[in-house]
Amino acid sequence: MDLSIVIPVYNEEESIQELTEWIVKVCTIRRYSYEIIFIDDGSSDSSWDRIILMAGKFKYVKGCRFRRNYGKAAALHTGFGEASGNVVITMDSDLQDSPDEIPDLYRMIITDGYDLVSGWKKKRYDPLVKRITSKFYNGTARWSSGIKLHDFNCGLKAYRLEVVKSIEVFGEMHRYIPMLAKEAGFRKVGEKIVEHRSRKYGVTKYGLDRFIKGYLDLLTVGFITRFGKSPMHLFGSMGTMMFIIGFIMAGYLGIRKLVFTSHHLRAPLVTNSPFFFIALTVMIIGSILFLTGFLGELVNRNSPERNSYLIKDKVNL
């Protein structure tokens, strides 16, 4: 099969039929073999009824319905598990992503050899605050990941099938799938300017909390990709450094007391110095950090995925 198109849905009953017919038209003209996989993320409207209607009308339309709203990452993870096309394309269900972009995205994966192609909504129809915040987030993500993309959170993306089968999208990590793909060894990441259409039906499902979650997720992805397999490298290093600093401060107080004593002078009490309590606190924190890293290594040691590595090719095996 050429294409799997994965579409998360949450209360978008007005747009499902129009979007489906548009995708079918594009794929039919290009003579792609395809499947459209709708993931209903616990919609409270008639979105699921519309999906059933489309599945009855077009035999390549499939659907999956969650019992409640789990979030976009869960919908994508489920869709990726069901996908079987050589190229997997994700798009939003609100008609702000244009299906006319599908042929170029498919070509960039198959012909140009990209592992992942991310859309870039260069001209956006979003509120000013959202556009400014998005640029700030994307700039931080570029700096921290080294991936030169302008729009990490664009819902319109294309993947080689191997990519979606090799990564795990959870929590709110759908924003940073390119970072997860890079960590999994898929480094040929491309970008394409895509059309961002103004919303035709309904209202946006995202609130102000997405801005806070976005940065927390970025920190989480950064930690997992760098230290997920070796937490001691982070916590052990920080703990050792803090313990040494505290030990040096405590050593200074001890040496000072010895110097006073050797000169038969009345030495000030060590506990009268604020450095004593600072040194003690720093040494305790350092010890806790070191033990945290040690416990992280024990947990990682017992993980069933501790020796799971992605193999690209085999010969005579």
Domain identity same for 217 and 277: no
Domain count along the chain: 2
Domain identity same for 122 and 104: yes
Domain identity same for 244 and 210: no
Q: Confirm whether 206 is domain-assigned.
A: yes
Question: For every residue of the chain, which 3-state class applies, written as one string?
Answer: CCEEEEEEECCCCCCHHHHHHHHHHHHHHHCCCEEEEEEECCCCCCHHHHHHHHHHHCCCEEEEECCCCCCHHHHHHHHHHHCCCCEEEECCCCCCECHHHHHHHHHHHHCCCCCEEEEECCCCCCCHHHHHHHHHHHHHHHHHHCCCCCCCCCCCEEEEHHHHCCCCCCCCHHHHHHHHHHHCCCCCEEEEECCECCCCCCCCCCCCHHHHHHHHHHHHHHHHHHHCCCCHHHHHHHHHHHHHHHHHHHHHHHHHHHHHHHCCCCCCCHHHCHHHHHHHHHHHHHHHHHHHHHHHHHHHHCCCCCCCCCCCCCCCC
Q: Domain end: 227, 258, 281, which one? A: 227
Q: Which residues of the chain have pLDDT under 70?
A: 125-131, 199, 202-215, 217-218, 221-222, 224-225, 228, 300, 302-317
Domain identity same for 141 and 71: yes
Domain that holds residue 255: 232-301
Q: What is the pLDDT of residues 58-90, one digit of tens each?
A: 989 999 999 898 888 889 999 999 999 999 999
Domain identity same for 13 and 138: yes
Q: Domain end: 198, 227, 256, which one? A: 227
Which pTM value belongs to this model? 0.73
Domain identity same for 258 and 186: no
Domain identity same for 114 and 257: no
Q: Confirm whether 262 is domain-assigned.
A: yes
- Could you tell me the CATH number of the domain that includes residue 122? 3.90.550.10
In this prediction, residue 214 carries a pLDDT of 65
Q: What is the pLDDT of residues 117-153, one digit of tens each?
A: 999 888 776 666 666 777 777 777 787 778 888 888 8
Domain identity same for 95 and 221: yes
